[in-house]
Amino acid sequence: MQSRSQWGETAIGFVVLALAAAFLAYVLGVAGVGKGGGAYSVSAKFGDAGSLTPGAKVTVSGVKVGTVSSISIDAKSYLAVVTLALDNNVKVPSDSTAKITSDGLLGGAHIALAPGGANDDLKAGDEITNTQGAVDLFGLIGQVIRPHGDAPAPAASPSATPAPSAAGADLPDVK
């Protein structure tokens, strides 16, 4: 009887290990580990990288075509230089646009490529010149809540006197 329960526990252990192996294979497949084809690197400069991080996805029409390899700063222009690793199977026209977009209100960011219409494609080492940096959502919300136009007017200096008006033109009609 004891032997039968040991075989049952062993069988359940094998099922758990098989499920763990299947889950691991699925995760590695989704992450793209082990896929052939390679990648080529291109760069893009942005005025604001926002919350973009290395490893973020690069998409075309919502489909992942690469990842962000690195982010650095250009010492002369102070722009964020982003290096992208694009899948060799995806050819992107040379006049394409790169835009940093958010994954959600509180999520991270990724780069969305909008293909252009040029006949030649980006090659390894090329730079995407048409870029749009990250948008600061909280800054926009702050501008809507407290617009800059509502600031109080500065107080007039004591030496300033109002200009004389033409014969009561500024006075309301009182009857």
In the chain, the percentage of residues whose pLDDT exceeds 90 is: 46
The phi, psi pair for 95, rounded to 5°, reads: -100, 25
pLDDT at position 53 is 92
The position carrying tokens 């400069």 is: 45
Task: Name which of 89-93, 98-102, 146-150, 151-155 the model is least confident about.
Answer: 151-155
* Number of domains forming the structure of the chain: 2
> Is the Cβ–Cβ distance between 94 and 11 less than 8 Å?
no
**pTM to 2 decimal places:** 0.60
pLDDT, average across residues 61-69: 93
Nearest residue to 61 (alpha-carbon basis) of 40, 90, 32, 35:
90
Task: Name which of 8-12, 113-117, 133-137 the model is least confident about.
Answer: 133-137
In a domain, 165, yes or no: no
In a domain, 100, yes or no: yes
pLDDT, average across residues 99-123: 87
In a domain, 21, yes or no: yes
Residues 10 and 95 in one domain: no
- The parent domain of residue 3 ranges over 1-35
Residues 97 and 50 in one domain: yes
